[in-house]
Amino acid sequence: MKKLILFLILFNLTIFNLNAVVINVGIYDNAPKLYMDEHGEAAGFWVDLTKLIIIQTDYELNWIYGSWDECLQMLEQGKIDLLPDVGFTENRAKKFLFANETTLLSWSRLYVHKDSECQTLLDLNGQKVGALKNSFNLSAPEGLLDLINQFRLDCEVVEYDDYNSVFEAIGEKEIFAGITNKDFGASLETSFPVKRTPIIFQPADLRYAFSKRSIHSNILMPIFDKYIKTYKADSSSEYQTLIDKHFGMQHNHRFIPYWLKFTLFILLILSLISLVFIILLRYKVKLNTHQLQQKTEEWEKTFNTINDLIWILDSDQKIIRVNNPPQPVIDLDIELVMGKPCYEVVHHQDCPIDGCPLPKSRKSLTRETMELAIGDKWVQVIVDPFVNAEGKFGGAVHIIKDITENKLIMEELIDSNGQLATSEKELRAMNVDLQAHDQELNAMNQQLAAHENQLLDTNMRLSKEIGINNEVNIRLKEELQTKKALFEEIFHRTKNNMQIISSMLTYETRRNKDEVAKSSFMNVQNKIYAMSLVQTQLYQSGNLSQINLKDFILDYNQYLFKQPKLRELGINMKTDLEDVYILIDTALPASLVYNELISNIFQHAFPNPQQSEISISLKDVNGEVQWEIGDNGIGIPLGINLEQSKSLGLQTAYSLIQDQLKGNISYENSAGLHWSLRFKDNLHKRRV
């Protein structure tokens, strides 16, 4: 009846476990602890105990058979998630994750042929001794190899894939003796012509071992520890029942009352009803399991596609998982770095280097970074800690990112900034020269004004007397020609200086590879051209006081579309312009504002230039210049106030319109960005 209770509990838990994830578990022949029976099914104490624990979770078991050595290799490579019946040693703890709870205690025993005698270890001298390959009782501390070395025995160790082969070799007298664990020996010693010897050694702490490469290990370990600890504390638990079943121990049976039998009968009926329900949902479970496996494979593929080198560290700062990037920053053998501290792998030291972000992150429980050179590369090390339920350091994600290219770009940018500073000094010197020219021009204008006053006085006197004196006329014409020559000279000097500055900026733009610096040079060059164009139109108009703003807009647009990058955008320019004449003192700031706004449109409005359009209208309404500049681009994000923008260009535009021209500048962010400029040309007087 007790077995029936256990069956019903396991059966019901299995029925409602609909969203199971498959866990791969290794199994090898080591009866009665675990083995594959004659039907090819997993059996034994460890198999039943594992099923008892897993059935209470959302996992399903998939048993993978192999020899003991093959199972250890699969566990280390991550091909299986879990391996039962593994003796704990310090060396194995470097390769695998062990449950904290001991499941069984065992020891090793020496067997010989029933016709042979062996009373002490010294009787093995000069003999062949068989053992399970890579087993605990062979290579672990205090195992057979340790005993051979301690007693300095001259004997040959023959390794086999399973304990059955060891007993068969003893029976065939291929070897003198063989070692097994006490459970296998007690179970099968009567099936072979072998007998026990009085030699017993090496107590074994048998636990569950988990793969360091499995994504399920950190979840499964606390689950197994919890149930094993609970089962061992309860003398009537299923754990004790399994020990009785597989190792021959007996307990007194207890009387089961009628009400419990009736309850079990009802539970059986409910189980049968649930079975019908589970058949209907089975397809859905398999589909979900397949999808989960696909997502797991996709995660692994993504993890290995990242170019950065990513390590998962445990609480002891040892590497437990490594991605395999297509172009790794550091050439490493993944198999060799597992279980080692990161500073040992990267720096070949037994402690962290100065400035290492890992100790800092362990203390602060926050992200820490550092940059350092490894060979001919620069890398950035990023450490993000895991915080466990107790609020303490539980491990970390360790990322090594190649920043060599960024470092080179930064160095080039520093060099470019130095060159830009030099160019700025030259521009300032030119500006000083221009200011000197302006002072000379002002002085000349004052002289000309004085001459004009003298001429007016002379003309008035001559009108009253005998009319215009021919000699005075000749002198006046000469002075006017001088004035014109001086003005032309100043114009040509100013134009030449601006052309020199523009040429220097063009040269710097072509030779500089930094796109930010190129854009800055181009913006300065456009501003210089805008001011130069105002001067040119002023000179060509024959009117030395004002220009036609319409002509300036058309000429400046033509200049912009000669630039290859802007011409390739294929932007349609729609204009509605009237003849609007403004003074030179108004034209210069207006030209700089137009340059800034139209440049921003070209740079930011059309990330996808198809069907892009810029519209410009210009009118003079009752002495007020009404200037509209708009586009059908992407506009600006909501919540951004351009009037408070930190952009030097936009700050300059607002300052020139509001402060210098005493006008108004506003914008509307709808179906693109539309600027509206309003100002009057009444702040200055005509110069000529």
Distance separating alpha carbons of residues 110 and 181, to the nearest angstrom:
9
* Alpha-carbon 485 to chain mean position: 67
Would you say residue 498 has pLDDT above 70?
no
Would you say residue 77 has pLDDT above 90?
yes
Distance separating alpha carbons of residues 208 and 225, to the nearest angstrom:
9
Would you say residue 677 has pLDDT above 90?
yes
Would you say residue 382 has pLDDT above 60?
yes
How many CA atoms lie less than 13 Å away from 390 in the CB half-sphere? 5
Statement to judge: residues 502 and 558 lie in one domain:
no
pLDDT of amino acid 223: 94
Helix (H) or strand (E) holding 35, with range, is strand 35-36
Statement to judge: residues 12 and 153 lie in one domain:
yes
How many CA atoms lie less than 13 Å away from 639 in the CB half-sphere? 0
Residue with more model confidence, 248 or 630: 630
| Domain carrying residue 602 | 545-688
Would you say residue 477 has pLDDT above 70?
no
User: Are 58 and 16 contacting, i.e. CB atoms less than 8 angstroms apart?
Assistant: no
The closest alpha carbon to 398, from 377, 373, 370, 376, belongs to 370
Sign of CA pseudo-dihedral 461, 466, 467, 468: negative
Residues 550-597 pLDDT 10s: 998 998 888 888 887 777 778 889 999 999 998 888 988 999 999 999
pLDDT of amino acid 327: 67
The pTM is what? 0.36
Statement to judge: residues 575 and 603 lie in one domain:
yes
pLDDT of amino acid 6: 47
Asked if residue 277 is part of any domain, the answer here is: no
pLDDT of amino acid 131: 94
Model confidence at 508, pLDDT cuts 50, 70, 90, reads: low
Asked if residue 297 is part of any domain, the answer here is: no
Asked if residue 455 is part of any domain, the answer here is: yes
Statement to judge: residues 580 and 660 lie in one domain:
yes
Sign of CA pseudo-dihedral 657, 658, 659, 662: positive
Distance separating alpha carbons of residues 268 and 277, to the nearest angstrom:
14
Statement to judge: residues 119 and 227 lie in one domain:
yes
Model confidence at 254, pLDDT cuts 50, 70, 90, reads: very low
Would you say residue 435 has pLDDT above 70?
yes
Would you say residue 173 has pLDDT above 60?
yes
Distance separating alpha carbons of residues 168 and 175, to the nearest angstrom:
10
Asked if residue 287 is part of any domain, the answer here is: no
Listed in sequence order, the residues at least 6 apart from 205 whose beta carbon sits closer than 8 Å to its beta carbon are 87, 88, 102, 105
Distance separating alpha carbons of residues 380 and 370, to the nearest angstrom:
6
The closest alpha carbon to 86, from 68, 61, 111, belongs to 68
Statement to judge: residues 469 and 573 lie in one domain:
no
- Return the bridge partners of 668, or none: 674
- Return the bridge partners of 61, or none: 23
Distance separating alpha carbons of residues 195 and 201, to the nearest angstrom:
16
Would you say residue 18 has pLDDT above 50?
no
Statement to judge: residues 398 and 414 lie in one domain:
no
User: Are 339 and 362 contacting, i.e. CB atoms less than 8 angstroms apart?
Assistant: no
The arithmetic mean of pLDDT across residues 610-631, rounded, is 92
DSSP 189-204: GGGTTEEEEEEEEEEE
Asked if residue 437 is part of any domain, the answer here is: yes
Tell me the pLDDT of the chain averaged across its residues: 82
Distance separating alpha carbons of residues 131 and 161, to the nearest angstrom:
9
Highest mean pLDDT (candidates 42-56, 272-286, 380-394, 441-455): 42-56
Would you say residue 193 has pLDDT above 90?
yes
Model confidence at 24, pLDDT cuts 50, 70, 90, reads: very high
Distance separating alpha carbons of residues 358 and 317, to the nearest angstrom:
8
Residue with more model confidence, 459 or 406: 406
pLDDT of amino acid 14: 46
pLDDT of amino acid 139: 85
Statement to judge: residues 501 and 435 lie in one domain:
yes
Distance separating alpha carbons of residues 351 and 349, to the nearest angstrom:
6
What's the 3-state SS for 297-347?
A: HHHHHHHHHCCCEEEEECCCCEEEEECCCCCCCCCCCHHHHCCCEHHHHHH
CATH number at residue 605: 3.30.565.10
Would you say residue 499 has pLDDT above 70?
no
Statement to judge: residues 496 and 613 lie in one domain:
no
Rounded to 10 degrees, the C-alpha dihedral 495/500/501/504 comes to 160
pLDDT of amino acid 426: 81
The arithmetic mean of pLDDT across residues 507-516, rounded, is 58
Statement to judge: residues 338 and 473 lie in one domain:
no
- Residue 580 structure tokens: 């609007």
* For the chain, percent of residues with pLDDT exceeding 70: 84
Model confidence at 506, pLDDT cuts 50, 70, 90, reads: low
Asked if residue 365 is part of any domain, the answer here is: yes
Residue 553's Cβ-count burial label (10 Å; 0-12, 13-18, 19+) is buried
Distance separating alpha carbons of residues 202 and 7, to the nearest angstrom:
36
Statement to judge: residues 408 and 390 lie in one domain:
no
Statement to judge: residues 621 and 557 lie in one domain:
yes
Asked if residue 526 is part of any domain, the answer here is: no
Would you say residue 516 has pLDDT above 50?
yes
User: Are 472 and 481 contacting, i.e. CB atoms less than 8 angstroms apart?
Assistant: no
Q: Is 473 helix (H, G, I), strand (E, B) or coil?
A: helix
The arithmetic mean of pLDDT across residues 442-468, rounded, is 78
Model confidence at 52, pLDDT cuts 50, 70, 90, reads: very high
pLDDT of amino acid 518: 53
pLDDT of amino acid 372: 82
Indicate the number of domains in the chain.
4
Residues 518-540 pLDDT 10s: 555 566 667 687 777 777 776 67
User: Are 93 and 142 contacting, i.e. CB atoms less than 8 angstroms apart?
Assistant: no
Model confidence at 174, pLDDT cuts 50, 70, 90, reads: very high
- Residue 641 gets which letter from DSSP? -
The arithmetic mean of pLDDT across residues 212-226, rounded, is 93
Residues 315-341 pLDDT 10s: 787 888 887 777 677 777 666 778 888
Asked if residue 473 is part of any domain, the answer here is: yes
Q: Among 467, 497, 513, which residue terminates a domain?
A: 513
* Residue whose pair of structure tokens reads 């049976």 in the numeric block: 253
CATH number at residue 355: 3.30.450.20
Q: Among 402, 421, 445, which residue terminates a domain?
A: 402
Would you say residue 28 has pLDDT above 80?
yes
Would you say residue 507 has pLDDT above 60?
no
Residue with more model confidence, 664 or 436: 664
Would you say residue 493 has pLDDT above 60?
no
The arithmetic mean of pLDDT across residues 91-107, rounded, is 91
Q: Among 386, 402, 418, which residue terminates a domain?
A: 402
Distance separating alpha carbons of residues 404 and 373, to the nearest angstrom:
9
CATH number at residue 224: 3.40.190.10
Q: Tell me which amino acid residue 678 is.
A: R
Residue with more model confidence, 97 or 431: 97
